[in-house]
Chain A
Amino acid sequence: MTDLLYQPVPLVDLLDRVLATGVVITGDVTISIAEVDLVRISLRALVASVGALAEDGEGFDVFGSASLG
Chain B
Amino acid sequence: MTGSTEGVWLHAVVPHIDPATLDGVPGMDGVRLSVVRAAGLTAVVSKVPLSRYGEEPMLRNLEDLTWLESAARAHHVVVDALSRVGPVVPARLATVYLDPDGVATLLTDRRDDFVDGLDRVAGRAEWGVKAYAMESVTETPGAAESGTAYLRKRRAQLTAHSEGLENAAREASAVHATLAHFAAGARRHAPQDRRLSGAETAMVLNGAYLVDQDRVTEFTELVSALSKCHAAVRIELTGPWPPYSFIAGETS
Which A positions have Cβ atoms within 8 angstroms of B?
2, 5-6, 8-25, 27-31, 33-34, 36, 38, 41-42, 44-46, 48-50, 53-54, 61-62, 65-69
Contact of A25 among B54, B95, B187, B206 (CB under 8 A): B95
CB-based contact A66/B190 at 8 Å: yes
Tell me whether chain B's interface is mostly helix, strand or loop, or mixed: mixed
CB distance from A12 to the nearest CB of B (A): 5
Q: List residues of chain B with CB within 8 A of the CB of A66.
A: 190-193, 196
Q: List residues of chain B with CB within 8 A of the CB of A44.
A: 63
* Complex CA distance for A25 and B72, rounded to whole angstroms: 18
Which B positions have Cβ atoms within 8 angstroms of A?
7, 10, 13, 26, 50, 53-55, 58-59, 62-65, 68-69, 72-73, 75-77, 80-81, 89-98, 102, 105-106, 110, 113-114, 117, 126, 128, 187-193, 195-197, 206, 208, 238, 241, 244-248, 250-251
- Identify the closest chain B residue to A12 (Cβ): B196
Contact of B93 among A8, A18, A48, A67 (CB under 8 A): A18
- Identify the closest chain B residue to A26 (Cβ): B251
CB-based contact A48/B65 at 8 Å: yes
